[in-house]
Amino acid sequence: MKPLKRVTLYAVLLSSLLFGCSTQKKQEEGQRPALSSQTQNVAGVQWSIPATWTKGPEKQMRVGTYFVKGSDENVEQGECAVFYFGQGQGGNVEANIDRWLAQFENRTNEERNKEEFNGISVTIVSVQGNYLSPGGPMMQSQGTKEKYSLHGAIVEAPGGMVFFKFTGPSSVVNSASDDFRAMLQSLSKNVAG
């Protein structure tokens, strides 16, 4: 092969490689869930709310409530509730995970892991099954809901534990799992919170 043809071939290959990487990066960036400009904060941390989630009205004992619609209008929407009970309140990480898991019968796809986002330790849990739908002052079952999922996160904030509990039909929760993760990745320390 002549030197000029070899240089031209290398230039074509290099530009194809660079263009391919750039296109792949743009596609990956385009697939990232969008976060809204709305933020919330408590216990020294703040986070951004996913753009497709709807902020609900204030509720007792909750920092925030977000509603998540699925692609099928006939399916119940999911709900992500955020709780903060105060410094040293609310129990430890393992006790809360055990309590969340006990709210499901016929559990499958149970996972838990610990990660760090922007210097903040977060324990993440997920499970599928039949949800006992606890509620009321004694947290008694409000009726079993089949094919439900939970994505939960316990954030070790400077001011105490913050609990994110996202439940709903599995189709809704699983399709919004990237949004949930993006919200956790947006966590940052905020001394004013």
CATH of the domain at 106: 3.40.1000.10
Q: How far apart are CA 127 and CA 146, in angstroms?
A: 13
For residues 53 and 178, the answer to whether their CB atoms sit within 8 Å is: no
Domains in the chain, number: 2
Say whether both 99 and 164 belong to one domain: yes
Say whether both 26 and 77 belong to one domain: no
Token pair belonging to 25 = 């990066």
Q: What is the pLDDT of residues 117-134, one digit of tens each?
A: 999 999 999 999 999 986
Q: How far apart are CA 114 and CA 193, in angstroms?
A: 23
Say whether both 42 and 23 belong to one domain: no
Task: List the pLDDT tens digit at each of the 193 positions of the chain.
Answer: 555 455 444 443 334 443 344 334 433 455 678 998 999 999 999 999 999 999 999 888 899 999 999 888 888 999 999 999 999 888 899 999 999 999 999 999 999 999 999 999 999 999 999 999 866 554 555 678 999 999 999 999 999 999 999 999 999 999 999 999 999 999 999 865 5
Say whether both 47 and 26 belong to one domain: no
Buried-state track 138-150, b at ≥16 Cβ within 10 A, e below 16:
eeeeeeebeebbb
Say whether both 177 and 83 belong to one domain: yes
Q: What angle do CA 92, 88, 91 make, to 5 degrees?
A: 25
HSE-CB for 55 with a 13 A CA cutoff: 14
Say whether both 63 and 78 belong to one domain: yes
What pTM, to 2 d.p., does this model score?
Answer: 0.80
Q: Name the residue range of residue 23's domain.
A: 1-31
Say whether both 25 and 46 belong to one domain: no
Say whether both 149 and 120 belong to one domain: yes
